[in-house]
Amino acid sequence: MGQRPGTLTVRPGAPKPRLFLMAYDEASCDEAEYTDRYDELLETLRTGPERKYWIDVRGYGDLPLLERLMENFNLHPLQMEDVLNDYQRAKVEVFDDNRLFLVSRMTEFTTDLEIDDDQLSIFTGPNYVLTFQDDYEDCLEVLRNRLRGPSSQLRRHPIAYLAYALTDVVLDHYYPTMAAIGDYIEELEDSIFVARRERRLLNRILQVKKSVVRFRRLVYPERDKIAEILRMPDEVVPEDIKTYYRDCYDHAIQALDLAESYRDNISSLADLYLSDQSNRMNEVMKVLTIISSIFIPLSFVVGLYGMNFQRDDGHGHLLPLNMPELYQPWGYPVLLAILAGIVAGQLYYFWRKGWLSSND
């Protein structure tokens, strides 16, 4: 913070860059790693201008190398700054000679119930696509396999198609993310109604809701980015390539619709959990109220009977303990029978009112 625009800074601990090159034409595809051989990579690009190239940079931990890339490929410092500050929203920019700079967000639903996202930065050129990503792991291997295929349709298209294909792969990867979230929401739904539930179930529900909201914030800019590409003139993005981007736009809309549906589901799930908790609390209060209602008359009778002091038995005989029931052989059995009758009458009344039945 506080630095002038265009200043390149590498975060501490960033992995060392690895350079990968896929050179292809309609007939073949060659690939090699050029880590620590940057000059050889440039020479390969110069000696084969008729081929198409995908230069993939994985890792940002070498600032001098990144500065050379910026110089050799004529990248704007502000765009390179956006590459290194890898928290950018998905976007597209047009720069020198109708070249494109695109940013996409790759997503994954982790076991910690969070959305893990990484930035993919894409630069297009006359016969190449240059990509940057901070981590070595990504979702682009499926695209590399398509290029390696002996009858690859991807190799027959112009280089602009590769930029589209990268965007499409990122969008396709949203669906496994949403599928994982959907499966977890179903698991939460089942957990609400089991007899022994986790005490932190509500925290899990709220964490998933937070992840769904974060996913929506990632996909919205992706949709807007593709919409902006579709509005670009044909000299920037050819009309035949826009046809494929329209399919991408549909995928983005579907992902957003799915995210909206999951957000509504998880909100309903939270309401259902709280309602179920309230019902369970009401059941507990009902049981306690019934028990209290039973013991109130019993306590009254026992208290009144136990405090009935009398000095004699009515025939002139003193009662030293002043408790006549102690001198009546059937006093306690009769009292217990009266108490049992009170309990039975109350239980019968509660049963007729339906208060003893479960609400399930």
Statement: residue 33 has pLDDT above 90? yes
The reported pTM is 0.77
Nearest to 209 by CA among 190, 187, 185: 185
Statement: residue 138 has pLDDT above 90? no
Q: Is 192 helix (H, G, I), strand (E, B) or coil?
A: helix
Nearest to 98 by CA among 163, 24, 49, 153: 163
pLDDT value at position 130?
A: 96
Structural domains for the chain: 18-276 (3.30.460.20), 283-353 (no CATH)
Instruction: Tell me the torsion sign for CA atoms 235, 238, 242, 245.
Output: negative
Calpha distance 139→147 (Å, rounded) = 15
Convert the pLDDT of each residue in 311-325 to its tens digit.
Answer: 655 666 665 655 656
Calpha distance 103→106 (Å, rounded) = 10
SS (H, E, C) 147-191: HHCCCCCHHHCCHHHHHHHHHHHHHHCHHHHHHHHHHHHHHHHHH
Statement: residue 128 has pLDDT above 90? yes
Convert the pLDDT of each residue in 54-95 to its tens digit.
Answer: 999 998 888 899 999 999 999 988 999 999 887 889 999 998
Convert the pLDDT of each residue in 194-241 to its tens digit.
Answer: 755 566 888 888 889 999 999 999 999 999 999 999 999 999 999 999
Q: How confident is the model at residue 276 (pLDDT cuts 50, 70, 90)?
A: confident
Residue 273's identity, in one-letter code, is Y
Calpha distance 356→354 (Å, rounded) = 6
Q: Show the tokens assigned to 322.
A: 């002043």
